[in-house]
Amino acid sequence: MNQEDWLDRELREAAPYIDDEGFTARVLQQLPAPRRAHDLLRAAILLGMTLLASGLAYVVSGGGRFISITLERLAALPVLWVFVLALASGLMIAAVGAAAAISQGRAS
């Protein structure tokens, strides 16, 4: 047996199994609440706030008249403006997607 084998064996044997002794339980105690319950609560709050804001906007805007006015204005826009708006929206979405992909890559 050469010296390298001897050293490797000693190094491996110098790392005995460490008994759990409550370690796993301590880690689990510190985990955040399970996502499912948390997500349901968040979804309910978001839905409630969205409904409330929509109702408020409907009342304040005089029964939603602003929607038809906005649609009329959009329809009256020149084709070039519509194209620019669509392009800007697309670029913004692509930028957000790229940023999310980069942050995911860094996290891993």
Partner 1 sequence: MELTDADLVARVLVDDDQHAFGELVRRHQSAVRGLLRQLTRTDVALADDLAQQTFLRAYKNIRSFRGEARFSTWLYRIAYNCFREDARRRKELVGIDEEQLQTQHDPQIANPGLRHDLMRALSLLPLNERSAVLLCCQSGLSHDEAARVLDIPLGTVKTNVLRGREKLKRMLADWGPN
CA-CA distances (angstroms) from residue 79 to 28, 48, 67, 82? 58, 38, 20, 5
Q: Does 3 bind partner 1 (CB under 8 A)?
A: yes
Segment near partner 1 (CB under 8 A), from 34-42, 48-56, 62-70, 90-98? 34-42
Question: Toward partner 1, which CB reaches closer, 30 or 68?
Answer: 30
Report the b/e string of 58-96 with b at 16+ CB within 10 A. Answer: eeeeeeeeeeeeeeeeeeeeeeeeeeeeeeeeeeeeeee
Residue 108 touching partner 1 (CB under 8 A): yes
Q: Choose the stretch contacting partner 1; rule: CB under 8 A; options: 29-37, 46-54, 67-75, 91-99.
A: 29-37
Cα dihedral 81/84/85/86 (nearest 10): 120
- Least separation in angstroms between residue 96's CB and partner 1 is 18
Contacting range for partner 1; rule: CB under 8 A; set: 3-11, 72-80, 82-90, 92-100: 3-11
Q: Which residues contact 77 (CB under 8 A, 6 or more apart)?
A: 85
What residues line the site for partner 1 (CB under 8 A)? 1-4, 6-8, 10-20, 23-24, 26-28, 30-32, 34-36, 104, 107-108
